[in-house]
Amino acid sequence: MMAEDTDEIRKKIKKELDRSRYQHTLGVAYTAAALAMRYRQNIEKAYLAGLLHDCAKCIPTDKKFELCEKYDISLTDSEKENPALIHAKLGAYLARSQYGIDDEDIIASIRTHTTGDVGMSMLQKIIFTADYIEPQRDQAPNLCEIRQMAFTDIDRAIVRILSDTLDHLNQKSAAVDPKTRETYEYYLSLTDNGP
C-alpha cells in the first residue's frame, strides 16, 4: 500500500463518517502508528488499519443488517442483540471489497477491534488498544494508566481495557459478547498480576 493510496482512503473515509467519528478515526490511526513504532511493527499498516477500523460505523443499523445478509456475513446472537458490534465484521468486509485491502492482518484487526480475540497478532492488539486510548477518548475509567501501560506492556493494557469494559457493561446490565469475556480470560491468563 503506497502513501498515495492511503491519502485516497483517508479522503474516502472522511466522506463516509460524521465529523466526530472521523476525528476519532484519525486519533486511532495516529495512536496505532505510535504503538507500531513502539512495538517495531509496520507503521503504515497500523495507520491504515486505524483509518479503516470504523469504516462501517456510520451506516444506519437497518442497512448494516441488510448488508450483512447480502454479503453472507454471519452474526452471532450477541451481535444481533447489540448492533453496535456489527460494524467490525462489516467493516472488515468493506475494507477488502471497497477499499482494496488484501492484507489479512489488517482485515483481522478491523474484525476484532471491538471485542478482541484470543491469540491476536500484534497489529490486532495495536488497533484494539488504539481504539480505546486515542486522545479524543475521555469517558473511560483508568485511561491515564491504560495509556501508559499500552506503551510498556500491551497485553496488560488489553486485560485492563477488557476488565473495565466488562465492569461497564455489567453496571449497565448490557449484553456481553462471549468473545469479549473469552478474550479477557485468555489475556488475563498470560499476565502475571491480572488487571
**154 found inside a domain:** no
Q: What is the pLDDT of residue 128?
A: 98
**148 found inside a domain:** no
**195 found inside a domain:** no
**21 found inside a domain:** yes
DSSP-assigned letter for residue 43: H
Give dist(CA 179, CA 38) in Å, integer: 27
DSSP-assigned letter for residue 108: H
Number of domains making up the chain? 1
**40 found inside a domain:** yes
Give dist(CA 192, CA 195) in Å, integer: 9
CATH of residue 128's domain is 1.10.3210.10
Q: What is the pLDDT of residue 191?
A: 85
Give dist(CA 56, CA 89) in Å, integer: 9
Give residue-wise pLDDT tens across range 71-127: 999 999 889 988 999 999 999 999 999 999 999 999 999 999 999 999 999 999 999
**9 found inside a domain:** yes
**192 found inside a domain:** no
Give how far Cα 89 sits from Cα of 32, 166, 174, Å: 19, 21, 20
Range of the domain at 130: 3-139
**111 found inside a domain:** yes
